[in-house]
Structure 1
């Protein structure tokens, strides 16, 4: 299977040349570029030109609404899919199924869904959701069961602990059905993923920890008679040389002051997310020893909630780490960088040609009738 690469749309207050913090109950940090349709459209068009399959769009109080943002951006891009993060339970299962079907049909099949159960009770309550974390996962499973059944055209009557519908049915079905991406490190999250996810996502951890997660989910999915694909969410700093990449990592770290690190870390420690706890363990709130594995850097997580690690190195080194994760079972990589427009080109023009040479990746929609020259490569018809 050819690897799939996805990029990120920085609707979380914008973008900039420094790490833009926020997420998981923490306010978005300062940025230099607004989350506007013209700028995000640049990122979307560049991502699809470079060969990224989709773009993740976050959800939460710290960013613009993912559904509305991506609906607008679908009109200024051609092929790129949108991995829309959404929280089940903040709207009815029937309405969510209908929204997804509408997006899928009107965009030409360009919707993927990133189901986010919600790890911060205080933020959930701001949206009117007063369930605790465990109950949110129970509701999520019920929600996804109803949504999937509706997508098949079934008339659904369902009465669960949290979700109830009577004679629900969609008149317009999604074609194809959107794939569901799902992450979570707690025991109940694994159960929900095994039953409902198409792709299980993990944040970037050292390979040994990722391998354990994959084995855990595979075992749970096998009990359900299912097989899942696996993806990983990380940032990237890829340059022509290792020295240049690490110099950029140091520049980003130098742009973060100690007061901000302390404030954000204190906020993230209140998170109920097991995955967030694991991210904090990797950086320990310290500037020291942030290379937690060769070419894996935990500096982003000092001020950013959620994905807190980055692949850092030369194009060849980053490609090598990607191949190592792939050997464990990771087939999809959701990446981002600062700024997102420029970093997409560093990765797309630097790392992807290396992976092509190794037979691990091919452009999903290669241009025709042109000549392309990869970094350090020879001109070839493409």
Structure 2
């Protein structure tokens, strides 16, 4: 199954990067890293991710980070193969404009756009953008939005009058080629319905494998009822080292750099979240520094001060590869990874874990193998890999 597993990295436009956990996000006060966002630094991360064999880089969306469309458009020319998993909120962009932007991005980047649809779980943050719908209405609007975008991408002339959108004779001049795959996450009943109808890849945050299995079975049943099959991905951080001891020492260092006041502040803000997935993340860490290894080699310390993805795979390259296999066994085929700092941690994972997975036949580098021609005696030619 060599070619089935895909690994993606992360561009830290949400407060910058650093040697400690950059906290906040998801509607709470953010704490910035010592490496501010810049095209030069984010470009370093993108180029490294590409060289190491990551398929794409996720760029987040929200009031606490740089705009994902603009950021990735600026970075796309700094890489050649890396795709960009652009997170965006459907309620803030019209369906026609989003479909058109996707076509432009695909045309100018050489087909390197993936879309991460984020419905929005925090009403107070949505109101900053002028969006005053409640959570259930946001999912209804997302359902309508994705229906229209799919119709436009199919080349249809769309005239539509619905609950949230009205389009008259809408026809795209340029259909994206290839069509961007749609990634989507959400743990509520409303999210499950939208995923089943529209998305290509359902994403979950990093819960223990047994909980991930339950979620995959739930969404798979909903999708089957719609006559569809989905792929499944997981969003995790990574602390990978040559030895287990070195990895856990790094986790301990990150935890020591988290201030108790910061934990209290972020946890209080995250408890106000409307997101079911965020509530599940909070349950994993319990707001406490104690008992953070919630499954062998799965650590919930990041979620003490960071909204959204709050767990990390921690261990030796072999141990993390073993945990990856556990997730594969329950149905995961894509992994969206990150780590602190994102530049250095991409190398720990990319040069340690990915080769181990390649040895197990679970992954292969997506770039063509480098080949050269070496001179041999008497004018012969020899191809050397």
| Range of TM-score over shorter length | over 0.9
What's the counterpart of residue 379 of structure 2?
Answer: none
Give me the whole-angstrom Cα distance separating, in 1, the residues matched to 2:37 and 2:152.
Answer: 34
Match of 2:271 among 269, 272, 276: 269
Correspondences of 1:79-94 after superposition (within 5 Å): 79-94=81-96
What's the counterpart of residue 116 of structure 1?
Answer: 118
Give me the whole-angstrom Cα distance separating, in 1, the residues matched to 2:326 and 2:173.
Answer: 45
Give me the whole-angstrom Cα distance separating, in 2, the residues matched to 1:164 and 1:309.
Answer: 41
Give me the whole-angstrom Cα distance separating, in 2, the residues matched to 1:43 and 1:264.
Answer: 27
Does residue 27 in structure 1 map to residue 33 in structure 2?
A: no
Aligned partner of residue 178 in structure 2, secondary structure? coil
* Gapped regions of structure 2 (runs ≥ 5): 373-383
Correspondences of 1:98-247 after superposition (within 5 Å): 98-247=100-249
What's the counterpart of residue 49 of structure 1?
Answer: 51
Give me the whole-angstrom Cα distance separating, in 2, the residues matched to 1:263 and 1:27.
Answer: 8
Give me the whole-angstrom Cα distance separating, in 2, the residues matched to 1:119 and 1:330.
Answer: 24
> Per-residue deviation at 1:22?
1.7
What's the counterpart of residue 74 of structure 2?
Answer: 72
Aligned partner of residue 238 in structure 2, secondary structure? strand
Give me the whole-angstrom Cα distance separating, in 2, the residues matched to 1:87 and 1:24.
Answer: 13
Deviations 1:251-284 (A, max 9, x none): 0000001000000000000000000000000001
Deviations 1:229-253 (A, max 9, x none): 0000000000000000000000000
Aligned partner of residue 239 in structure 2, secondary structure? strand
What's the counterpart of residue 15 of structure 2?
Answer: 13
Runs of 4+ aligned structure 1 residues displaced above 4 Å come to none
Deviations 1:24-66 (A, max 9, x none): 1013212111110000000000000000000000000100000
Give me the whole-angstrom Cα distance separating, in 1, the residues matched to 2:9 and 2:37.
Answer: 15
What's the counterpart of residue 329 of structure 1?
Answer: 331
TM-score normalised to the size of structure 1? 0.96
> Per-residue deviation at 1:361?
0.2
> Per-residue deviation at 1:165?
1.1
RMSD between superposed Cα atoms in Å? 0.9
Aligned partner of residue 15 in structure 1, secondary structure? coil
What's the counterpart of residue 373 of structure 1?
Answer: none
Match of 1:97 among 88, 96, 99: 99
What's the counterpart of residue 285 of structure 1?
Answer: 287
TM-score normalised to the size of structure 2? 0.95
What's the counterpart of residue 374 of structure 1?
Answer: none
> Per-residue deviation at 1:366?
4.1
What's the counterpart of residue 255 of structure 2?
Answer: 253
Count of residues in Structure 1 that have an aligned counterpart in Structure 2: 372
What's the counterpart of residue 306 of structure 1?
Answer: 308
Give me the whole-angstrom Cα distance separating, in 2, the residues matched to 1:133 and 1:163.
Answer: 17
* Gapped regions of structure 1 (runs ≥ 5): 371-380
Give me the whole-angstrom Cα distance separating, in 1, the residues matched to 2:193 and 2:233.
Answer: 17
Aligned partner of residue 6 in structure 1, secondary structure? strand
